[in-house]
Structures are given as C-alpha cells and as structure tokens.
Amino acid sequence: MPFESAVFLEMMPSTVTVQTLLTNSFYAVATYSTGVKHRARVVDRPGNVRGVDGQVVQYTSTIWLASTISPLDLPTARVITPGSSSKPVIKVERYPDNDGAHHYKMYLGH
C-alpha cells in the first residue's frame, strides 16, 4: 500500500523530524543533519523492549514512521517529536509490503 493512501496516512496525524548522525568528534560530541520531516503516529506510553544488545530496556515513546528512509540510519538518528523534545532511538522494527520497506516502528528512550 503506497503512502499516498489517505486511509493509511490518517493513522499518522503527527510530524516528526529525523536527524541522521553525521559524525562524532574526538570528545564524543555528535553532529546531526538538519533533519527531514516525516508523517508519524507518536504514542507516549512507557514500556520495556529488548534492545539490539539483548538487554531489556525501558522506552518512553513509540513512533510509527511513514518513511522508506534507510534502516541503517535510524538506530543512530535523533528524533524530534511534536513539542520539540529530542529522544534517542532504542530499537527500530521494519515492516515491509510487496514493494519493500513500508514503514518503521521506533522505540524512543529518555
């Protein structure tokens, strides 16, 4: 189902900005891109999820992102949610359709 489907996009009333990581300095100061806005559904409800390292970690928000952005960029990205809060990405799940990547489910930390 393409993103142009009004029914699908009605479920994503918010807009989030995804800023991909460009570099880390010698002192571990991250530099991010200016960001790209994407349609999304943001749910601020805490929970637990198993992270990429296998440990159970707490998340504060879940985002369903209507995007085909490269999944390699998402784990290190910074997401700015409505209300201008910036949260780190804990885990990314990709949901494909017949044409490939369709949307992502992202768990955000504190």
Q: Which domains does the chain have, with CATH numbers?
A: 6-108 (2.40.10)
Residue 68's pLDDT is what?
A: 64
Residue 1's pLDDT is what?
A: 46
Query: Nearest-CA neighbor of 73 among 37, 22, 110?
Result: 22
Strands 78-81 and 47-50, sheet pairing = unpaired
**pTM for the full model?**
0.76
Using alpha carbons, list the distances in angstroms from residue 94 to 71, 85, 88. Answer: 8, 23, 17
d(CA 27, CA 69) in angstroms, rounded, equals: 28
The pLDDT averaged over each successive group of 10 residues in the chain (110 residues) is 61 84 83 86 91 87 78 73 81 76 81
Q: CB atoms < 10 A from the CB of 17, how many?
A: 20
DSSP 61: E
